[in-house]
Structure 1
Amino acid sequence: MTTTASAADDALTRRQAELLDQLEALFLAEGFSRFTLEDLALRLRCSKSTLYALAGSKEQLAHRVVKHFFRKATAAVEADTVTEVDPARRVTAYLSAVARALAPAGPAFHRDLDSFPPGREVYERNTAMAAERVRALIADGVAQGRFREVHPSLIADTVTTLMFRIGRGDTQRATGLDDATAYRELAALLLRGIAL
């Protein structure tokens, strides 16, 4: 997960930042497609004009909240990973941090994200960047002689495929594993496959 901070989010008032966080929590728990701006204003005890100050439409607001969620998730993942120097522990720490960051996103959020092209694009871009991060971590471990010679891009492509399946809920439907457990299993499988 990799993304950069948005200048627009830096310019928010304290109240707007709070509303963005409240919208994020609401959308992660209940999804976002069924809400109107009026529904959201009632739930958040604010005016519709306050919401319009964040975005010009419900779709733009949903897109902004999705970007906000992934920006925060990326920062949390990197913070949880940056201090780990051992390549194997770093890969495990990274995938475990991804699992923790994505854990609040419930089935309704994933369903709505999948049917909302701008949000899906944000999710897919972040997942692709996360896979690239895994590829770089594996390549670094290979270069340090800590992992066997593997094709890091093939491994990253495999990881990406499973990350998409986990995020869409396919893995949980197929295996019964929640996202966090699936990411832990992915980390264990990956490390066993590349260990010397």
Structure 2
Amino acid sequence: MPLPGKARARREEMLVQLRELFLTEGFSSFNIGDLAERLRCSRTTLYAVAPSKEQIVVAVVRSFFKTAAERIEARVAASADPARRLAIYLEAVAAELQPASAMFFADVADFGPANDVYQENTQYAARRVQALVTEGVRAGALRPVHASFVGAAAAEVMGAIQRGTIQATTGLDAAEAYRQLADLVMTSLTDPKERTREGGR
């Protein structure tokens, strides 16, 4: 049964506040009492988000990725250039992950249901990369490559970023790692002559 308008608006407000807190400090160290104190609200208000702390965490993590995906797709839709659309997508993913702390990513990795949400979004991102590569190749804006392979390779890197392997190996946080992935993908798929012309403009 849908929530009444006022209750729905209050729930969305709580999700925003919880997202900001979790992105900055993670969530494993908080219990419901801690969250109520930090957000200056009642436990009842928190339980309107979800009926347990674990479900609140999943709701917040899902909300974070849903909101991020909407903003990313809006940026992609604003460009008609097939090559730029791929670059915009990868750059926008990096920008959306920028506010997330290492503690947030560590907590997500350690909590199965939240990690499942992250994995779902990583898989979706890989499919979007594949689709955008296909679009760019068909338009002649990108070199002819095996789009499924590029999507699969991107998914492997995204998974390594999520698991913390990339940061452990390179010292790059998730946002910067995605920026490097964007640079790698675009450099490999764009004709060097086109890059030279773009750089000279």
1:75 to 52, 70, 74: 70
Spell out, residue by residue over 1:61-98, the C-alpha distance to the aligned partner (whole angstroms, 9 max, x if none).
11111111111010111111111122221111100100
Query: Which residue of structure 2 aligns with residue 4 of structure 1?
Result: none
SS where residue 13 of structure 1 aligns?
Answer: helix
1:108 aligns with 2:126: no
8 Å contact from structure 2 (residues 61, 117) kept in 1: yes
RMSD: 1.9
2:51 and 2:173 mapped to 1: Cα distance? 36
Point out 4+ residue stretches in structure 1 off by more than 4 angstroms. none
Query: Which residue of structure 2 aligns with residue 89 of structure 1?
Result: 84
8 Å contact from structure 2 (residues 161, 174) kept in 1: yes
1:148 to 120, 143, 151: 143
SS where residue 63 of structure 1 aligns?
Answer: helix
Letter in 1 for 2:35: L
TM-score normalised by structure 2 residue count: 0.88
| Overall identity of the aligned pairs, in % | 46
1:135 deviates by: 0.3
2:58 to 56, 63, 66: 63
1:123 aligns with 2:118: yes
1:46 deviates by: 0.8
* Structure 2 spans left out of the alignment, 5+ residues: 192-201
Query: Which residue of structure 2 aligns with residue 190 of structure 1?
Result: 185
8 Å contact from structure 1 (residues 87, 140) kept in 2: yes
1:11 deviates by: 7.8
Letter in 1 for 2:53: K
1:175 deviates by: 1.3
8 Å contact from structure 1 (residues 30, 106) kept in 2: yes
1:166 deviates by: 2.0
TM-score normalised by structure 1 residue count: 0.90
1:172 deviates by: 2.2
Which structure has the higher relative contact order (CA within 8 Å, separation 6+)? 1
**Residues 27 and 99 of structure 1: CA distance in aligned 2, closer, same or farther (over 3 Å):** same
1:18 and 1:94 mapped to 2: Cα distance? 27
2:95 and 2:13 mapped to 1: Cα distance? 22
1:128 deviates by: 0.5
1:37 deviates by: 0.5
* Aligned residues between the structures: 190
1:98 and 1:174 mapped to 2: Cα distance? 21
